[in-house]
A and B are shown apart, each in its own frame.
Chain A
Amino acid sequence: MTRISPETPAGAATAASAPWSIRLRDAVVRYPNGVVGLKKISLDIEAGEMVSIVGLSGSGKSSLIRTINGLVPLSSGTLEVGGHRMDLARGRELRRLRGQIGMIFQGFNLAGRTTVLNNVLVGRLAHTSVPRTLVGAYRQRDRQLAFEALDRVGMLERVYHRAAHLSGGQQQRVAIARALAQEPGIVLADEPVASLDPPTAHAVMGDLRRINRELGITVLVNLHLLDLARGYGTRLIGLRAGEIVYDGPAATATDADFERIYGRPIGDQDLLGGQSAAPTGTPA
């Protein structure tokens, strides 16, 4: 099921590392306030998959995504990412592993008052020494990776603009470039299009599908709109109250499946609409 396209440009260094698989065994996440995010989840995701994770807010999909890069620690169970024990990693080792996992957020999480380039170079911090970081003296290769990542999402022209001056869709593309600059084995996206209008949402989802297909990177996307989940994912995982209630191919998931995941009838509010989500070319 891996989709490393043979026509990946030779110059594009943004997939230097091989895609990573994810293995969760009996994973439990319990927050300090007693709330249970994940209830004994076991899950295998193969390298190169494009997975849509759906569920209502509070279903545990954010916990699942944040567990995979260690932003949320496991209370019990094990997590292997690319063959490395993420749940045991601490300090330098944890940062090294996180450096291989890109993350995209609903709110973009860019530092608005600095340039697009500086934001994308955040993706190179795991490979940059602290003295170099403090003065912003990145190596030429790291800058080159940042430029290539921006080029891939069509934002190279804005490289010296301030991030806050960009539109929401442009900011999310810069955030995708930041993740790509990491040369990641996995890209995690937590509700990446929930703050965007429908055409921009399709464009950003198209970008995520493209990095999965062209670079072969494993992509996990949290979504709550079922047409996006069906149209862009190859595999669909449904979460409800911290448990996996659906796991299967995305394209054939029926409305009844979604009603089981959501625990209520499906309505218009569960669809984004707009451009057809059929797997065609990416809009410019």
Chain B
Amino acid sequence: MTALNTAPRTVRSAPARAITPPAKPRRPWRTVITVAITLLVVLVFWSVKVDWARTANLPADIARYLWLMFSNPAWDRVPEALWQTWRSVEMAWVGCLLGIVISFPLSFLAARGIGPAPVRLALRGLFSLIRAVPEIVIAIVILSVTGLTPLTGALALAVNGIGTLGKWGYEAIEGVHPGPIEAVKAAGGSRWQTVRWGIWPQAAPEFVSFWLYRFEINVRASAVLGLIGVGGIGDMLTSYTQYREWPTVGALLIVVIIVTIAIDLTSGAIRRRITEGSKARDLA
């Protein structure tokens, strides 16, 4: 405490000494980029033609549709909605499993230090290419081969899953501590032995966490995929919106939201347990 109290006094009583702080670094490019982005945002805002008069009605419209949908939801449709939701979840699940099975070996081959450079670059290109295309576009392409079935949806989710899971996978692999890898090498381990006992024990929890997260994404995406008619809750939702049966749409939305949130919460809790739970116990 004494040190704290005396410190300011010592500073004040010290003779004034000329200090020269280093010159502030000049960053001309930062200024240029800031100005350019600001201009761009302003220009884009002005170039978009918005009918501001119509937006005045928006709040009233939203309120009217909300009232139509939720004032008296068609509860008798809930069993069918649940059944269709189940079909969507199945689509998400199958798509997730296929994505895992295919992306798993690929993410190892795409990681620095494991796969040869040409293979690595090709796979990374493939992953980015896949991620650039939304599931629904993939589904429309696959549609011409497999037809309007839930399998189309599952395949579209699987293809997209390869892109995301592949990228997350190789990033997790490259992020592990090098120590255990060095230990396996020093003990005479081969490349795949190093992968199995130097890398995998470190990366496994992250992999499982990514798989669950991808399932969450798929559950949400599978509802959207229904819009193109591959079945499931999205399909049902589109139909009733077209018939303008708002009470049914309301009931369907309630089911979709509750099921999605329930799956998100459960999977999120498991993921936290896997990644953070172990850390929390390590500290103990």
Residues of A within 8 A of B (CB): 69, 71, 95-103, 105, 107-114, 118, 121-123, 125-126, 128, 130, 133-134, 136, 162, 164-165, 175, 178-179, 182
Contact = CB atoms under 8 A, between A and B. Distances in A.
B189 A126 contact: yes
Contacts of A98: 185-188
B179 A133 contact: no
Interface residues of B, number: 23
Interface string B86-106: 000000000000000000000
Given A98-B185, A111-B197, A130 B192 contact: yes
Contacts of A111: 180, 197-198, 201-202
Contacts of B115: none
B182 A105 contact: yes
Interface string B160-187: 0000000000000000000110111111
A183 B187 CA distance: 11
A213 B113 CA distance: 39
21 contacts: A95-B188, A95-B190, A98-B185, A102-B187, A103-B187, A109-B182, A109-B183, A111-B197, A111-B201, A112-B202, A112-B282, A113-B201, A113-B204, A122-B187, A122-B189, A125-B190, A125-B193, A133-B197, A178-B187, A182-B187, A182-B188
A123 B278 CA distance: 26
A103 B183 contact: yes
B181 to A, nearest CB: 8
Contact of A165 (B188, B190, B281): B281
Contact of A113 (B187, B198, B202): B202
B164 to A, nearest CB: 23
B170 to A, nearest CB: 19
B30 to A, nearest CB: 31
Contacts of A105: 179, 182-183
A145 to B, nearest CB: 13
A71 B187 contact: no
A165 B282 contact: yes
Contact of A122 (B197, B278, B281): B197
A244 to B, nearest CB: 24
A111 B198 CA distance: 7
Query: At the interface, is chain B mostly helix, strand, loop or mixed?
Result: helix
B205 interface: yes
A125 B186 CA distance: 10
Given A98-B186, A125-B184, A125-B189, A114 B196 contact: no
Contact of A118 (B183, B189, B197, B282): B197
Contacts of B196: 133-134, 136
B203 to A, nearest CB: 9
B235 to A, nearest CB: 42
A173 B18 CA distance: 56
Contacts of A71: 182, 185-186
A108 to B, nearest CB: 7
Contacts of B201: 111, 113-114, 118
Contacts of A114: 197, 201
A151 to B, nearest CB: 19
A109 B234 CA distance: 50
B208 to A, nearest CB: 11
A167 to B, nearest CB: 12
B205 A113 contact: yes
* 8 interchain residue pairs of minimum CB distance: A126-B188, A99-B188, A109-B179, A98-B188, A111-B201, A114-B201, A109-B183, A103-B186
Contacts of B205: 113
A133 B184 CA distance: 12
